[in-house]
C-alpha cells in the first residue's frame, strides 16, 4: 500500500473523487499526523534488534523510530548455540539503551522494541504498515478531515472556489464526525497490539 492509494481510499469515504475541498497536500499532512499518533493507541511495529557490545561502552543508539524498549536479553551461550537470558537494570533514555554494567569484551544483546511506522514522503514507497491495518489509518484520516471541515465552516471562509455540497451545516458534519469516530474506535480496539505478559522481578 502506498500513500497515493491511501489518499484514494480516504476520498472514497469522503465521497470526493478528486481534490476539491481537501487538497492532496492537506490529506498528506493528515496522513503524517495519524501515522505518528498510532503508537500512542497501541498500534505499532515490534522489532527484535540484536547488536554486539563494545568494551567499556554502556550506551547504544537504538534504531530510528524506537518508541519503547520492552525487554533486553543477553547471550550467555555462544554464537552457534545462543542462550538468551533476561537482563535487568538497563535504562532507556533519549534514543539510547544504557546497560547496567560496563562490558569488558564483545557479546551479543537482543532488544525487544516498540517502533513507530515510517512516515513516507512520496507516493511510490510502500508503507511498512501492514495492509490489514490500513483501514485504521484511512478512518483516522477521515476523522481528522471532518474536524478540519468543521473548522472551515466555523470560519468566515466563503465557498467561492468549491461547490457547497447541499445544505451543509456544522451539526451535520458533527454527526458524520461522531459516526466516523465510533468506527475508528472499533478499528483501534481491533488492531491494537497486546504486549506479551512479562514476569516482574521483585528482587532486583
Query: What band does 163 get if pLDDT is binned at 50, 70 and 90?
Result: very low
Residue 180 confidence class, pLDDT cut points 50, 70, 90 = very high
Beta bridge partners of 60: 97
Note if the pTM is more than 0.85: no
pLDDT of 200 over the 70 cut: no
User: Quick check: 150 pLDDT over 90?
Assistant: no
Cα 43–Cα 48–Cα 51 angle in degrees, nearest 5: 140
Question: Taking residues 160-180, what's their average pLDDT?
Answer: 73
C-alpha separations of 198 from 59, 80, 95, 144, 202 in Å? 24, 27, 22, 35, 12
Mean pLDDT (whole number) for 81-93 = 94
**Domains in the chain: boundaries:** 3-41+119-191, 45-115
Q: How confident is the model at residue 61 (pLDDT cuts 50, 70, 90)?
A: very high
What does the mean pLDDT of the chain come to?
Answer: 88
Mean pLDDT on 196-202: 55
Asked if residue 172 has pLDDT above 60, the reply is yes
Provide the pLDDT for residue 52.
94
Residue 66 has pLDDT above 80, yes or no: yes
Is 71 in contact with 195 (CB distance < 8 Å)? no
Would you place residue 102 in the very low, low, confident or very high pLDDT band (cuts 50, 70, 90)? very high
Amino acid at each position: 500500500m502506498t500513500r497515493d492509494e491511501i489518499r484514494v481510499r480516504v476520498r472514497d469515504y469522503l465521497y470526493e473523487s478528486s481534490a476539491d475541498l481537501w487538497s492532496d497536500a492537506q490529506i498528506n499532512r493528515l496522513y503524517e499526523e495519524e501515522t505518528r499518533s498510532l503508537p500512542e493507541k497501541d498500534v505499532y511495529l515490534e522489532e527484535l534488534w540484536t547488536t554486539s557490545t563494545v568494551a567499556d561502552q554502556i550506551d547504544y543508539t537504538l534504531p530510528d523510530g524506537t518508541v519503547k524498549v520492552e525487554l533486553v536479553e543477553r547471550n550467555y551461550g555462544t554464537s552457534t548455540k545462543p542462550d538468551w537470558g533476561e537482563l535487568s537494570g538497563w535504562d532507556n533514555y533519549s534514543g539510547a539503551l544504557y546497560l547496567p554494567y560496563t562490558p569488558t569484551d564483545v557479546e551479543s544483546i537482543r532488544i525487544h522494541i516498540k517502533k513507530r511506522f515510517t512516515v513516507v514522503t512520496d507516493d511510490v514507497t510502500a508503507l511498512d504498515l501492514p495492509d490489514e491495518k490500513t483501514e485504521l489509518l484511512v478512518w483516522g484520516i477521515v476523522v481528522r478531515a471532518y474536524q478540519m471541515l468543521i473548522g472551515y465552516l466555523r470560519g468566515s471562509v466563503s465557498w467561492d472556489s468549491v461547490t457547497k455540497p447541499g445544505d451543509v451545516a456544522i451539526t451535520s458534519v458533527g454527526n458524520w464526525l461522531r459516526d466516523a469516530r465510533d468506527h475508528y474506535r472499533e478499528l483501534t480496539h481491533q488492531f491494537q497490539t497486546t504486549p506479551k505478559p512479562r514476569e516482574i522481578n521483585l528482587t532486583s
